[in-house]
Structure 1
Amino acid sequence: MDDVHSDWGDWLLRAVEQSDPEGLAVWYLGCNGFVVKASDGTTLFVDPYLGTGDPPRTVRMIPVPFDAADVREADAVFATHEHTDHTHGPSQGPILATTDAPFFGTDASHDVVAEEGWREAWDLGDDRFVEVSEGDTVDVGEVTVHVEPAHDPDAEHPVSYVFEHAGRTFFHGGDARPSDRFADVGERYDIDLGALAFGSAGRIPDKETGDPVDTQWYSGENDVTEAARQLRLDRFLPTHWDMWKGLTADPTALGPHVRGFEYPRRLELLEIGDSTTV
């Protein structure tokens, strides 16, 4: 299985390790990846993807922020769904191998684990892999993680996650689009910061034929704003807009879309490597 390599060195990982958040903090890893760290030191990785895609079909447009083998502190790795840029052995297997972190994902993500041979490649036992589904709740350190539904028409079994710690709540929607499921989540939680995938439509080569086809994998401006409204987000953090050549977007364009609504109350923009408190 191919290794991945970063030109950034390990400075971002060391910055996370040395941080001492008062409540809950997140670092944006580009694409849809995050590190979530709580005041008790609990460190969680969500959808970390360090691959370069599959050129020329999918071409990574941002740096690889660290080498997976350089991770020294991780208490869990979470995957929202089974797509390569969310469940990826070379990105996540070494994290599991160098820490005691378990991997949490749906049945579809665990199918990828089996197909890619993570257990054999990184000498990992079955106890390191925990299957989750909608309605489950997981406690990792002092962080409570709720597994919630997600509507992603391109995925086999997607979920979203709600991370709660010290009265603060971070929502990660994976690549999901707006739906009644998000409206229900928004009614049941008071979400301080929510991450939602945003991108443009483009022409991407077909996986089988190589012919360009009209492609939209993520919500556009109106849809992602609707999802943020359904979730009643205090702060809305767009993701994924930076990742794939031909499907990138300008997150500053979302300002006029969110300005006239009660929710989200604020648009928050991060670039790869940036952090914010929840």
Structure 2
Amino acid sequence: MVDSDWGDWLPRAVADADPDTVALWYLGCNGFAIKGSEGTVLWIDPYVGTGDPPRTVRMIPIPFDPEDVDIADAVLATHEHTDHVHGPSQAPILANTDADLVAPDDSLAVAREEEQWTDEYAVSEAAFTEVTEGDELRIGEFTVHVVATHDPDATHPVGYLIKHDAGTVFHAGDSKPAPSFSGLAERFDIDLGILAFGSAGTIPDKETGEPVRTKWYSDENEIAEAAADLGLDRLVPTHWDMWKGLTADPTALHDHVRSYDAPNRLEIVEIGDRIDL
């Protein structure tokens, strides 16, 4: 773990905000802080690690120190990969706020067994809340639906459909287009959808170090297909900024989504930006 490049201004911005509806702050990679009008705060996939150079090299600033986060009602993890479940990034938030880690089984196994959060941090077993597809949770002013996604690189990925009186947000983790998406569009009116986007590139193999062609995230056509299937009002592409060799230009998506009925709006955010429902 390294010190934040930005000091504590981002956690303070979240803590001090008084949104009229729901405010979201992009943390880079695939992370978001979400705050409702009544003060409930969710952190989804917050990650402030630097990757594993030279295989995965972080291309964006470290936007906050998790020790500076003192307001959180839950930390939600979409799947078990390091940039989505990471003790140094997330366990201090749980310890400082008494928030729960809400995650599927394989993600909790990382926290329990591989990283041993209960031994390494002031986190108790009671802080782990296991969820699976079809579950519904009430967290403060938010109703969270756990839904199926399609991330073939993960062992048990899920997405979170977050309902609020002001609107609905869908965080799909690193999912590519999924068979479940058209059904979600029939059940929910999704105001804002968060979908991972990136390029294909060569990344050193974990064992040999040899470059291997790698494609972890949706390309331009896949993210356009997913957004259309979900019937999104607003599409927010993520993850395009993170890893050396897999970065992409989100402005290119204008040409890919323009002929679809959805999304109605492509919203490009950079690390640290706030958007509101």
Bin of the TM-score, shorter chain as denominator length = over 0.9
Q: In structure 1, what is the equivalent of residue 3 of structure 2?
A: 5
- Report matched runs for 1:223-262 at 5 Å: 223-262=222-261
Which TM-score applies when normalising by structure 1?
0.98
User: Which segment drifts farther, 268-277 or 120-129?
Assistant: 120-129
2:40–2:141 contact (8 Å) kept in structure 1? yes
Indicate the SS of the match to 1:138. strand
Structure 2 counterpart of 1:173: 172
Could you tell me which residue of structure 2 aligns to residue 96 of structure 1?
94
- State how far apart, in whole Å, the 1-side matches of 2:10 and 2:253 are: 28
Superposition deviation, residue 179 in structure 1: 1.9
Equivalent position of 2:29 in the other structure: 31
Percent of aligned positions that are identical: 62
Question: Aligned equivalents of 1:118 and 1:229: distance in 2?
Answer: 39
Structure 1 position 120 matched with structure 2 position 119 = yes
Deviation at 1:188, TM superposition (A): 1.0
SS of the residue aligned with 1:92?
A: helix
Q: Which runs of 4+ in 1 moved over 2 A?
A: none
Post-superposition CA distance 1:10-54 (Å, at most 9, x none): 001111111111111110000000000000000110000000000
**CA displacement at 1:5 relative to structure 2:** 2.0
SS at match of 2:180: helix
- Please give the alpha-carbon distance, in whole angstroms, between the structure 2 residues aligned to 1:133 and 1:102: 15
In structure 2, give the amino acid aligned to 1:203. Answer: T
Gaps of 5+ in 2: none
Mapped contact 1:148–1:160 kept (Cα < 8 A):
yes
Structure-to-structure mapping, 1:116-155, within 5 angstroms: 116-155=115-154
Residue in 2 that maps onto 1:78: 76
* Number of residues of Structure 1 aligned to a counterpart in Structure 2: 276
Which runs of 5 or more structure 1 residues have no equivalent in the other structure? none
Q: Quick check: 2:22–2:166 contact (8 Å CA) kept in 1? A: no
> How big is the shift at 1:167?
3.6
1:55 correspondence with 2:47: no
Letter of the structure 2 residue corresponding to residue 112 of structure 1:
V
CA distance in 2 between counterparts of 1:31 and 1:247 reads: 12
Q: Which residue of 1 aligns with 2:269?
A: 270
> Does structure 2 retain, via aligned residues, the 8 Å contact 1:28–1:273?
yes
* In structure 2, distance between residues paired with 1:4 and 1:107: 28
Q: CA deviation at 1:202?
A: 0.1
Match of 1:44 in 2: 42
AA of the residue aligned to 2:13: A
Point out the more displaced range, 52-61 or 167-176.
167-176
Alignment TM-score, normalising by the size of structure 2: 0.98
In the other structure, the counterpart of 2:184 is 185
CA RMSD after TM alignment: 0.7
2:178 alignment partner AA: S
Q: Deviations over 1:145-165 (max 9, x none)?
A: 110001000000000001111
SS in 1 for 2:176: coil
Is the Cα contact below 8 Å between 1:50 and 1:64 reproduced in 2? yes
SS at match of 1:180: coil
Alpha-carbon shift at residue 260 of structure 1 (Å): 0.9
Q: Distance in 1 between matches of 2:210 and 2:186?
A: 43
